[in-house]
Structure 1
Amino acid sequence: MDHEQYSSQHAGALKHWLGLFNVGVQLTKPGIIFGNLASVLGGYFLAGSGHLANPAHLLATLIGTALVIGCGCVINNCADRDIDRRMVRTCHRALALRAISVPAAVSYAIALGVTGFGLLWAGSNMLACTLALVGLVVYAGVYTYWLKRRSHWATLIGSLSGAMPPVIGYCAVSGRFDATAMLLVLVFCCWQMPHSHAITVMRREDFRAARLPLLSLPEAHRQIHAYMLAFLASTMALGVVAQMNAVYFALMLGFCGYWMALAASATRLTDPPAWARRVFGCSILLVLVLNLSLAVLR
């Protein structure tokens, strides 16, 4: 036996499978998944007042939601492959590079979705499963296939899907869609709008190259300020309805105040991309603080 040839073939096969694995992971946009799972945990422990009664239930909720989000991201990659080829930020994605075929990616998305919904149905509850379905339909259908290329209002509609993870976590424990769940939707929709508009300011040339609808810079500034105010008001209302403690209110007032001060900075006029990066970075920190506060400060 030629051991050197065998080793070479084995190494080649291993490299092939590792390549496929990396493509599969990349298609699901793991950064988006992990960010949303933090929100699932925030909603989950909010409903449980910081206590974990059933680890298997939590695991099913987390993994099921992650798989459904991954399904939506793969579908988004399939639909946006032509856009991705025109943008510096996304031109390296697997479907943009044709590293995987569209039929293979669609089959992968179906497998992720079926497994994710099955886990939520069997291991969590029907309400959590239904909310995940709403999020998927809004993100992969209404936002990606219908509105994204037609109107800047796509961001607002798409924010509904981004608000589903904390509500899934909350309803997985509570088993009901109540005033707290409704306020979670409002809070996370209002957070996502400044976050998303900051991205369009940072990547303005990419969005122009992809011929996607864009707000003018003054209008983007106005909307960012308006949604920040709406976010602050909705977090306060959520704190009252969910009976959060005083530390929650202090943290939200402090971090929201800092976020709004960044947004009001004069650099929005002199250096919009740098201004947007700071607003974007603060939005990530703010939502992490919010999720942690929901989990432990009730």
Structure 2
Amino acid sequence: MAHVDGPAEEAGLRDYWQLLKPRLMSLSVFTALVGLLVAPEGLHPFLAATSILWIAIGAGASGALNMWFDADIDRVMKRTRNRPIPSGRVTPSDALALGLFLTVLSVTMLGLTANWVAAGWLLFTIFFYAVIYSMWLKRTTSWNTVIGGLAGAFPPMIGYAAVTGTTPLEAWLMVALIFMWTPPHFWALALFVKLDYHVARIPMLTVTHGRDETRRQTWLWSLGLVAVSFVTAFTAIGGPLTLAVASVLNAVWLQRAWAVVRRDDLDSDADAHLAERRLFKWSLIYLFAHFAVFVAEAALGPYGGW
């Protein structure tokens, strides 16, 4: 989609930082770091730190390219209209240039710092988020959240590959965990911000299939998430501690997901969409705790595992 530059206010460093989607970047950095730490081989601390830096910059490149392409819909959505491009503080061409520059920089430097397997996956992740998701899926199908979620699922595998140059089952299970987590996480959000997506004509499941079907799919994907979660406990990155933590996390998740699926829009909750908000907030705790326990298992070494 073409964007025409218009007069822009003077942009500051904060505006360019916002272009990188720091919240999304922080999730990518955290999961990539976990992938790096649980890999069976060691990596020099300096190389490890610089590898994570390049992965973070790659995630920022994805955010800048996404904001460049999505400027038109960001202007009409209440929660995004104050972003740097729709607010006029950064021109679309500057955002595009920044995104492309950071892509080349991050992929090249990760290849030179770690290995080209990790760099190749980083390039694919940026392409997937900026092109497959932003330019195609997001605007054309309700599967946008499902398939597009892969872009946010790859960082732990990139971190793992940065150490070993390989992507074994354990790395793919971390990808699968995030992949299964993403749809119910974003559907819970979409259930209480539906109007924004409707106004922007984004075919989220809430818009194309209705709220009841979205709640049903949230429950089904939650069951899949729980299954993947428990599988990880019985692999090289898991162990008894993972099983114990996963049991608690999944019990709370299923309780909150069931509250969502049983909810009716006619319910007179004191706080509208309370069930969806509670699931969304728990989803953030869930992912952090699950990946943190992988690091704990790795730190335990021979004292952890089965």
Answer whether TM exceeds 0.5 for this pair: yes
Please name the residue that 1:284 is paired with. 284
Q: 2:97 aligns with which of 99, 107, 115?
A: 107
| Alignment match, 1:210 | 200
Does residue 260 in structure 1 map to residue 250 in structure 2? no
The alignment-based identity, stated in percent, is: 27
Listed as ranges, the matches of 1:1-298 within 5 Å are: 19-48=11-40, 53-215=43-205, 216-242=210-236, 244-265=238-259, 268-269=263-264, 270=267, 273-298=273-298
Distance apart, 1:24 and its partner CA:
0.5
User: How many residue pairs align between the two structures?
Assistant: 280
* Structure 1 stretches lacking a partner, 5+ long: 1-15
Instruction: Look up the SS of the partner of 1:95 in the other structure.
Output: coil
Is the Cα contact below 8 Å between 1:63 and 1:119 reproduced in 2? no
The 1:274–1:65 alpha-carbon spacing in structure 2 relative to 1, beyond 3 Å, is same
Deviation per residue, 1:161-219 (Å, 9 max, x gap)? 11111111111122211111222221110011111111211211111111111321111
1:9 maps to what in 2? Answer: none
2:282 and 2:153 map into 1 onto residues whose CA distance is 18
Question: Do the aligned partners of residues 243 and 154 (structure 1) sit closer, same or farther apart at CA in structure 2, a change above 3 Å counting?
Answer: closer
Deviation of 1:294 after TM superposition, in Å, equals 1.1
Structure with greater helix share of residues: 1
CA positional deviation for 1:239: 2.0
Q: Distance in 2 between matches of 1:36 and 1:53?
A: 19
Task: Give the whole-Å Cα distance in 2 for the aligned partners of 1:112 and 1:199.
Answer: 29
Structure 1 residue 93, shift from structure 2 partner:
0.5
Largest Rg, 1 or 2:
1
Counterparts of 1:235 and 1:264 in 2: how far apart (Å)?
Answer: 18
Confirm or deny: 8 A CA contact 2:51 2:113 kept in the other structure. yes
Q: In angstroms, what is the RMSD of aligned CA positions?
A: 1.8
Separation in 2, partners of 1:239, 1:133: 30
Q: Distance in 2 between matches of 1:173 and 1:239?
A: 22
Higher relative contact order (CA 8 A, sep 6+): 1
Deviation of residue 53 (structure 1)?
4.2
What is the rounded CA distance, in whole Å, between the counterparts of 1:242 and 1:138 in structure 2?
A: 28
Which residue identity lines up with residue 26 of structure 2 in the other structure? F
TM-score after normalising by structure 2: 0.87
Gapped regions of structure 2 (runs ≥ 5): 1-9, 299-306
Q: TM-score with structure 1 length normalisation?
A: 0.89
8 A contact 1:46–1:296 mirrored in 2: no
Query: Following the alignment from structure 2 to structure 1, what is the Cα–Cα distance between the partners of residues 148 and 204?
Result: 15
Deviations 1:65-121 (A, max 9, x none): 111111111111011111111111000011111211111111111121121112211
